[in-house]
Amino acid sequence: MDDQKLKRVIGDIYERLFTRYGPQHWWPARTRFEVIVGAILTQSAAWKNVEKAIANLKQAGALSPDALRRMPQEKLAALIHSCGYYNVKARKLKAFAGWLGEQYKDNLDRLFAQETGELRRQLLDVYGIGEETADSIILYAGNKPIFVIDAYTRRIIGRLGITTHSNSYAAFQMLFTDNLPADTKLFNEYHALLVRLAKEVCRTRPLCQQCCLNPSSRALDGGQFPCQNS
């Protein structure tokens, strides 16, 4: 697929998803720090279980960097038990809270004032924060234009037969950043829409007849755009 055709396809996918599902209002959190906590807790976890954990943290008065630092790790793990890997995630939350205090005195304005590339580099140096989590923090808490890649996005792109030069996170990310304007709202909405499609339709066992990207509807590229259901 040539560059211009790929750009049209990436844009058309978004238009179809937005037409079907509308705005997603993601990330569902009241504060930037809550977004960060959610981004860490959602690793290998269903969002409904993350919501339970965040509710527990709120009830315990533990949804702040200082409270996380002060709380014994065992107690923190018990509060976030619902989202799995709770001992490891408790350590990750405490590591981030400790780092934020040491480096930025808990000031998120200072943190997000960093240039995007430098901010990402710093986040990736924190224990427990990988590329997807770092980019979720940058996009949803920092309101900076970076495209989040997750397993859902890889699944959809793979089934649509769109290829990248490698299977790396960066290669999938470039698929979007090279073919879309660097717009925070667009990246936010696009990623959220892909997640919605993957959860409701493009599941492990896909419901292809319900999919707005199905080639039986108006073809994505003026011709058949086959979905590979494996």
Q: What is the DSSP string of 42-100?
A: TTTS-HHHHHHHHHHHHHTT--SHHHHHHS-HHHHHHHTGGGS-HHHHHHHHHHHHHHH
Helix, strand, or coil here: 18?
helix
| Residues 129 and 92: beta-carbon distance below 8 Å | yes
In sequence order, what are the residues at sequence separation of 6 or more whose Cβ sits closer than 8 angstroms to the Cβ of residue 88?
128
- Asked whether the predicted pLDDT for residue 229 surpasses 90, the reply is no
Q: Is residue 153 over pLDDT 90?
A: yes
Instruction: Report the alpha-carbon distance of residue 44 to residue 40 in Å, rounded.
Output: 10
- 23 pLDDT above the threshold of 60: yes
Place 227 in a pLDDT band, splitting at 50, 70 and 90: low
Q: Tell me if 87 sits within 8 A of 93, measured CB to CB.
A: no
Q: What is the pLDDT of residue 28?
A: 86
- Is the domain 32-141 a CATH 3.40.640.10 member? no
User: Three-state DSSP class for 218?
Assistant: coil
177: closest CA among 154, 157, 149, 152?
149
Is 13's pLDDT higher than 90?
yes
Find out whether 27 and 185 touch, Cβ atoms under 8 Å: no
pLDDT score of 225 more than 50:
no
For the stretch 80-123, pLDDT in tens is: 999 999 999 999 999 999 999 999 999 999 999 999 999 999 99
pLDDT in tens, 53-76: 999 999 999 999 999 999 999 999
The architecture of the domain spanning 3-25+149-210 is Orthogonal Bundle (1.10)
Domain residue ranges of the chain, discontinuous segments joined by + = 3-25+149-210, 32-141
Q: For residues 94 and 91, what is the distance between their CA atoms, to the nearest angstrom?
A: 5
For 207-226, what is the mean pLDDT? 64
